Structure formats: structure tokens, C-alpha cells
Amino acid sequence: MAKYFVEIVQKAEKEYLKLPQSVKHRIQELILSLEIEPRPSGSKKLKETAYYRGRSGDFRIVYIIDDKARLVKILSIGHRKEIYRSL
């Protein structure tokens, strides 16, 4: 199975840098796992959008998958209370 390329948009990168160090480690592991399996168990397609969400504790990442280009684009990273407001 070929790997996917993971791209993080600038907004998501800024959100990532603001996270506490312990959360950064968990989010980093989640992002790296998307290279191998962009739709892991526990990920969910958001209703009426092309977005998926990955979860790590109280934090979420929102991303979109392009299967033809084998690309996963991370759009947003944040706490579950705030993440969906910015979409």
C-alpha cells in the first residue's frame, strides 16, 4: 500500500505550535499515522462536507483526503470546543 503525503496548511501549523507540549506529541503521532491510513478507526467524516476529523483526547484535527493525488491536507487543529467553529 502506497503512503499518502501529509500537508499542513499554515493556519493549522500555527494552531499546532500553540498547543501544550504533551498534546503536541499525541497530535504529531496522529498526523504521522495518516500517512499510512488516512481513514483510521475512530476517524469520522463530517456531515455535509468533504472533511474528516481525527481525535486525540479532547483535541481534534480536521483534514481533507485526495485519493487520486494520495494527499491528506490538515486544515485545522484544536480543542473540541473550538475546532468546528472555524470551519
Chain centroid, CA 72 distance in Å:
8
* Residues 53, 17, 87, 70, CA torsion sign: negative
Question: Is domain 5-86 given the CATH code 3.30.230.10 in the classification?
Answer: no
Chain centroid, CA 61 distance in Å:
3
Q: What is the pLDDT of residues 12-45, one digit of tens each?
A: 999 999 999 999 999 999 999 999 999 998 899 9
Q: What is the pTM of this model?
A: 0.92
**Band of residue 1 on the pLDDT scale cut at 50, 70, 90:** low
Put the strands of the sheet holding 71-79 in their side by side order. Answer: 5-8, 71-79, 59-66, 51-56, 44-45
Q: What is the pLDDT of residues 42-69, one digit of tens each?
A: 899 999 999 999 999 999 999 999 999 9
Cβ-contact 11, 45 below 8 angstroms: no
- What are the residue ranges spanned by the domains of the chain? 5-86
